[in-house]
Amino acid sequence: MTAPLQMIFVNLPVRDLEASKAFFAALGYAFNPTFTNENAACMIISDSIFVMLLVEPFFSGFTPKPISDARSSTEVITCLSAESRNAVDALVDAALTAGASEPMPARDYGFMYQRGFQDLDGHLWEIAHMDGEPG
């Protein structure tokens, strides 16, 4: 029996929606205009993965808990796969050019190559290429 296709919507609070949209557009991501307005932008990662960039006051309406300040603490690291090591470097380099920072150096485990960046709001992103299995 095959499980039905599921989609994932990662919701991230942002301080400046237009700056965040410009940042991620510089990385090559598009936005679904149906789910984008002054409070939210639906960034398309793939056919089944989306990131909802939500202005902080709007994001607050979905949780009774305070919003974490991703610039000073880590709640989650979002990891995306890449088709090659060059693709990992290209995406992270584009993020750095668009204003991100690189919190850690690249890591090469032989079977997996990873680099990451911290976006404009401090959210951590890992980009990884896997070629083989852990030994």
Residue 119: is its pLDDT beyond 90? yes
pTM of the model: 0.89
Query: In which residue ranges of the chain is CATH 3.10.180.10 found?
Result: 1-61, 69-135
The 10s digit of each residue's pLDDT in 71-104 is 999 989 999 999 999 999 999 999 999 999 999 9
Cα dist from 122 to 34, 65, 72, 78, 113, whole Å: 27, 19, 8, 12, 22
Nearest CA-CA partner of 56 in 39, 43, 44: 39
φ, ψ for residue 90, nearest 5 deg: -65, -45
- CATH class of this structure's domain 1-61: alpha beta
What is the CATH topology of the domain spanning 69-135?
2,3-Dihydroxybiphenyl 1,2-Dioxygenase; domain 1 (3.10.180)
The 10s digit of each residue's pLDDT in 21-71 is 999 999 999 999 999 999 999 999 999 999 999 999 999 999 999 999 999
User: What's the pLDDT score for residue 5?
Assistant: 82
Name the 3-class secondary structure at 41: strand
